[in-house]
Structure formats: structure tokens, C-alpha cells
Amino acid sequence: MTRHADLRDLAVDDLRTSIRAGDYQGHTAGLAAGRLQVNLAIMPETYALDFFRFCQRNPRPCPLVGVTDTGDRMMRTLGHDLAIDTDAPAYAVYRDGDFVENRPNVSDLWRDDLVGFALGCSFTFEHAALAAGIPMRHIDCNRTVPMFRSNIQTVRAGSFGGGMVVSMRPVKPADVDQVRMISAEFPLAHGAPVHVGDPAAIGIADIGVPDYGEAVPFERDEIPVFWACGVTPQSAALSARLPLFISHRPGAMLITDVDERANPPVLDLTI
């Protein structure tokens, strides 16, 4: 099985080839610098309009950057050959709101009534933060970024609603303003933090026990900084108890061909 370290310097086409072949099924933080990474939400068309409304009403956790045609496996606006059923490293499958299994691809589950949504991911701004000298601890530790359910409520649309999921990164107080400004430049990657400091203030009881991803160590004087997270629509879909819902496994994102700074993202046909 291919290691994360083996992929860090690969061009996006080579990286996608490895992922599509099932050679890599881990997290994508730190991979494909300069390319937009996205969360996936795949569901029957019957629920797609309400989910679209949910994203429109909650742009911080659900920055919508692409939608497939009904029954189309290809995310044509975000890549020249970007298949949503094979090109994320790992998928999670849910039925009636319950987790069923993780899979390296979902090709044999595909149906003609499915619609795929792509939503921006905070991994995108991390390249800019690293370039500015701000460490990203989960990348240094080769772990999936820690994510937590919070008490920050989303705006409901149909059966979709519930609390916001947030991702967390330890940051030194002196770097908070800089990391806030850097991430604010990426509104399609969740933008600026939604909370800085005390986890209990947003309903998180133990910063060492994430609901998704893996815990990371704090260095001296670091404080937790929280961003809206693209697992939020996954959580909302589970509470809606859809008969079938497919997502990426948290942290294992779909990597697109588009420039991470494009707003809105536009596929450059000269690539």
C-alpha cells in the first residue's frame, strides 16, 4: 500500500491514478498543493434540492463548489477526468442514517438517480498557512485532522439540520490573527475560524477525544482554533436518515483540478 509520504510531491494526475487504483486510502492533508480539495455528499435525487438549500443557507460549513448531473459519476466542472465514485481515497456508506461500511470506491453502488455534491475543504488553506510558517500539527504527525460536533446550530432545510461539525488546529496566540487572515482568503475552504479558545464554549467536552479524525498534541502555549468543517453536511444527512447516503471518509478528500484560490472555482481548459 502506498504511503502518504510517497504522494506528497506527485502531480495531481499521478496522485489521482494511485488513488483510483486503490493504492492509497489515507488522508489527503498536505497533498496536491495548489489544488482545491473537496468533501463529497452523494444521495438520491429525491433529497438533492433540500440538500442544495441546506448548503445555500449554511455557506461556512457547506461551501458548495460543484454538483453532478443526476446519474453522472463525473464531476465535470472540477476536473477533466474526475470520477466521484473512485477518486476519493476512501468512502463511507450509510443507510437510513446508520453507518454501514468504509470502502475504497463505490462504483458497484452507483445508481442512475444519484446526485453528487462537492463542498470546499479546510485542507485547501493549509498550504498557505504552511508557507507562512504556521505549523499544521496533524500534517506533521501524519494524522487525520481532529473534528468535533459542536453546539453551533445550522439553518435547517427540509429534513437537513443539526449542529455544525468543526475542525481544530493548535495555534500559538501570536499566530492567530495571521492564520485568521490567511484562511479568510479561502471562503470556499470554510474561510476564517468560527471559534478560538475554550472548547467548552462551543459544546466540546474533551479536546483530546475528537468525534472524527485523530487527536493531536499541543505544544507549549498553543490554543485550539476551530473552523467550520465539511463533515457538517454528512452529519446533517445522517440526521435526515436518508435511505442511502455516501460520503468520503472524513479526512480522505476528493482532489480536484482547479486552482484552490479560484472563487468561484472554474476548470481551466488549458490545463
Entry pTM: 0.86
* Residue 267: per-residue pLDDT: 58
| Together in a domain, 8 and 110 | yes
pLDDT exceeds cutoff 80 at 120: yes
150 in any annotated domain: yes
136 in any annotated domain: no
For range 142-147, the mean pLDDT: 90
| Together in a domain, 68 and 158 | no
* Residue 112: per-residue pLDDT: 97
For range 15-40, the mean pLDDT: 85
pLDDT band at 271, cuts 50/70/90? very low
| Together in a domain, 92 and 196 | no
For range 83-110, the mean pLDDT: 94
Total number of domains constituting the chain? 2
- Lowest average pLDDT, out of 61-75, 84-98, 249-263, goes to 249-263
| Together in a domain, 62 and 154 | no
CATH number for the domain spanning 171: value is 3.30.2040.10
| Together in a domain, 118 and 168 | no
Tens digits of residue pLDDT in 224-236: 999 999 889 888 9
For range 115-131, the mean pLDDT: 87
For range 221-247, the mean pLDDT: 92
For range 240-258, the mean pLDDT: 91
* Residue 263: per-residue pLDDT: 64
| Together in a domain, 95 and 8 | yes
CB 71 within 8 A of CB 114: yes
CATH number for the domain spanning 249: value is 3.40.1640.10
| Together in a domain, 186 and 254 | no
For range 133-144, the mean pLDDT: 89
Q: Which percentage of the chain shows pLDDT scores above 90?
A: 63
DSSP reduced 3-state for 47: helix
Q: Which residues touch 260 (CB under 8 Å, ≥6 apart)?
A: 34, 35, 36, 37, 124, 125, 127, 186, 189
For range 57-80, the mean pLDDT: 94
What is the C-alpha separation between 138 and 144, in angstroms, rounded?
A: 6
Q: Taking Cα atoms as reference points, which of 36, 4, 16, 51 lies closest to residue 246?
A: 51
pLDDT exceeds cutoff 80 at 61: yes
Tens digits of residue pLDDT in 183-207: 999 888 888 999 999 999 999 999 9
Q: Which residues touch 157 (CB under 8 Å, ≥6 apart)?
A: 50, 51, 53, 54, 56, 57
- Lowest average pLDDT, out of 27-31, 91-95, 180-184, goes to 27-31
Q: Which residues touch 173 (CB under 8 Å, ≥6 apart)?
A: 221, 223
Q: Which domain, by its residues, includes 39?
A: 4-122+238-259
pLDDT exceeds cutoff 50 at 270: no
pLDDT exceeds cutoff 50 at 140: yes
| Together in a domain, 10 and 113 | yes
| Together in a domain, 216 and 247 | no
